[in-house]
Amino acid sequence: MRICFATNNRHKVEEVSAALGNSFQLITLEEAGIHEELPETQSTLEGNARQKALHVFERYGISCFADDTGLEVDALGGAPGVYSARYAGPQRKSEDNIILLLKNLEGKAPRTAQFRSVIWLVNPEGEWSFEGIVRGTILTTCRGSGGFGYDPVFMPESASMTLAEMTMDEKNRISHRGMAVRKLAEFLLSR
């Protein structure tokens, strides 16, 4: 089955392709001939994921899914949340985001947090959403060189490694995006 993932983020594409398996041929926005920046102006993960998927479907007539993911830190009242990718500014640099996060957490407790992913699917039959959540702790220093975003400082509950220290398969088995993608795949295969 061929399906468009409304992103050009190669890290997300690798993760989602690995989680979806061989039953799907994933195409990116670029591969679908879409070269514009998708809108992300909503105040929630659900809103942004829906906005991106609907934009592609309504403007280009392509069935697709989009995701939005946020790190929600308890001691920061759920921040950075929907602003996770641009927490330290519009340049969207993971290193800058991690530095700001660790600075904002100095002297604060608890360091518990969750990664939450929302996937929104739009096709001619309708719209559906799928969510994945993984709880964990924010470390005080980075560990690991894999993954992306906040992965080097996030250690999932009942794990002894950060998401950045895990292989792609290990991460996909427990991660927020992996959970949401499995729900999406089960839904698509059942249709």
Tokens of 172: 């996909």
Q: Are 36 and 59 in contact (CB under 8 A)?
A: no
Rounded to whole angstroms, the Cα distance separating 44 from 30 reads: 25
Which distant-in-sequence residues (6+ apart) come within 8 Å of 31 by Cβ?
none
Compute and round to an integer the Cα radius of gyration of the chain.
16
Q: For residue 3, what are the β-bridge partners?
A: 26
Catalytic option among 67, 68, 74, 169: 68
Closest CA to 15 of 139, 180, 190: 180
- Residue 4's H or E segment, with its range, is strand 2-5
Q: Which amino acid is at 117?
A: S
Active site residue 68: yes
3-class state of residue 119 by DSSP:
strand
Catalytic residues: 68
